[in-house]
Amino acid sequence: MMKRHNPTLVVLVAAFAAMTAAGAAAAANFPIGTHLVKGTLKDWQNKVLTSSAAVTIQAVATNGTVIASTKVANPTEDGYNFLLQIPLSSTATDSTAAVDDELNCVLAQDSGLSLAVSPIKVGEANTVSTVALAYVNMKDYTSTNGTGTTASVPAEYVDTIAPWMEAYEIEGDYDPFADYDNDGASNYDEYRAGTNPFDDTDRLAITAYTAPQNALHTLSFEYAGGHVYGVETTLSLTNPEWALQKVKKTETDAEHEQVMPSADEDDVGVATIYVVPAEGAKSQFFKVEAK
């Protein structure tokens, strides 16, 4: 898989003598409070966004689990327009972070588009940190396929695809609905997946599959670091009804709605995930999508 980057171009411990081994194990991980992240989200024109922007800010662990989430609100007198309340425990879990963890900050629009931005460093319990985020330039595109669909696309998409178009000597708009390599994935879908929109051999796809034998479906796919992926499933390809499918990172892991195989943007590789079979299903179909 080719990277999407331009081609030229993150106790109090009481030692009681009478503490039993079981008690010691239970004390190994415990809640320690909440860290607050107070921030200002601005647009590309350096204007503080209001609630009308319909943007949700999420603090996401590297495994794709959403630890905290909040809507952008109207700014306060001091200019802050969001507050993330990050639950802490002595050791990070699927629903809490640990002090000094780095969480991925994801901006999600009501339209369904999302964009990962700078990481958030988790501070001590019962303290407040501040952060300033810039919402990249959003441009409205209307589809050229006759459906009239309109989507807001971040300027980072344009900044990414423009050098590719120059390198491949392709003229025209940076239309996110177009499919310049005719591989079945739109330019914007490839941007989100970290694949090359001008190479029909480089696209997000399931590369290996093992059917369950009273166990788990096993799916493998090529990933690009820094991207979040999810799986959708349907029980039939006749009038399919695709729905989000929870997945496991290991056979014994808890289920997650999405996964980030690697936070390192320079990393590429093959990820393998596992899916619990639908109860009573005679067949089940899957597709991997970048989120």
Both 96 and 148 in a single domain?
no
Which positions ≥6 away from 166 have C-beta within 8 Å?
none
Both 256 and 186 in a single domain?
no
DSSP code string of 75-131: --TTS--EEEEEEEESS--SS-B-TT-EEEEEEEETTS-EEEEEEEE---TT-EEEE
Euclidean distance between CA atoms 175 and 145, whole angstroms: 11
How high is the pLDDT of residue 33?
94
Token reading at 128:
């407040």
Both 123 and 49 in a single domain?
yes
pLDDT beyond 70 at 111: no
Tokens 């796919």, residue located: 221
- E strand intervals along 110-264: 114-121, 128-134, 138-142, 150-154, 206-210, 217-224, 229-234, 243-245, 247-248, 255-256
Which one of 134, 160, 181 terminates a domain?
134
Maximum distance among all Cα pairs of the chain, rounded to whole angstroms:
76
- Residue 193's Cβ-count burial label (10 Å; 0-12, 13-18, 19+) is buried
How high is the pLDDT of residue 34?
96
Residue 35, classed as helix, strand or coil, is: strand
Both 70 and 163 in a single domain?
no
Kindly report the number of other CB atoms within 10 A of residue 60's CB atom. 25
124-166 pLDDT tens trace: 999 999 988 766 545 666 655 556 666 667 667 777 887 888 8
Structural domains counted in the chain: 3
Token reading at 246:
């929870």
15-61 pLDDT tens trace: 223 334 444 444 578 999 999 999 988 765 567 888 988 888 999 88
Both 115 and 38 in a single domain?
yes
* Domain CATH code at residue 82: 2.60.40.1120
253-284 pLDDT tens trace: 888 888 888 888 888 999 999 998 888 778 88
Residue 193, classed as helix, strand or coil, is: helix
Whole domain around residue 180: which residue ranges? 138-193
Question: In what helix (H) or strand (E) does residue 10 lie, and over which residues does it extend?
Answer: none
Which one of 115, 134, 153 terminates a domain?
134
Provide the b/e sequence for 262-276 (b: ≥16 CB within 10 Å): bbebeebeebebbbe
Euclidean distance between CA atoms 144 and 258, whole angstroms: 30
